[in-house]
Amino acid sequence: MDKKILKFAVSGGLGFIVDVSVMTLLSVLLPVIPARAGAFWVAASFTWWCNRQFTFKGADRSAPLRQWFRFLLTACVGFIPNWGCYWALIWWVDDAWITQLVGESGLYFWPLAAMIPGILLGMVANFILAARWVYRPALA
């Protein structure tokens, strides 16, 4: 089980890179909150694929669309603490405090840094549901 957790974390780390990249690109066109929501869906789909190919290789491979849908549902469950934490940090942390702490450039990086605690909270829920429901072992 320890190897699966490590592989899940690696897949999630790659998903995080996708998440940050897509959020950064979307933030050019959209406000921060919609950009974050769009990035979440892209990253969740990418992470499903990584986990399917890498973390849970022995899982049933007969219904990828159903598995992807289940993964997106579990990602939504994990999204609740993820989004809640992110939203709270974005709206409750004062811009003046960020500027004082890390300087003016911190206002640009703050939306990205605020993602980290929420992602870690969501990862716990996602792993439990993925291991028990999404990626069931293949029947012999």
Q: Is the pTM of this model over 0.75?
A: no
Residue 63 lies inside a defined structural domain of this protein: yes
Considering its fold, how many domains does the chain have in total?
A: 1
pLDDT in tens, 9-47: 899 999 989 999 999 999 999 998 899 889 988 998 999
pLDDT in tens, 58-91: 888 888 999 999 999 998 888 888 888 888 888 8
pLDDT at 80: 87
pLDDT in tens, 87-136: 888 888 877 777 777 777 767 777 888 888 888 888 888 898 998 889 97
Q: Which structural domain, as residue segments, surrounds residue 123?
A: 2-134
Residue 140 lies inside a defined structural domain of this protein: no
Q: Could you identify the residue written with the tokens 């049933």?
A: 60
Alpha carbon distance 4, 2 (integer Å): 5
Residue 114 lies inside a defined structural domain of this protein: yes
48 pLDDT higher than 90: yes
Residue 94 lies inside a defined structural domain of this protein: yes
Rounded to 10°, the helix 95-102/106-113 angle is 110
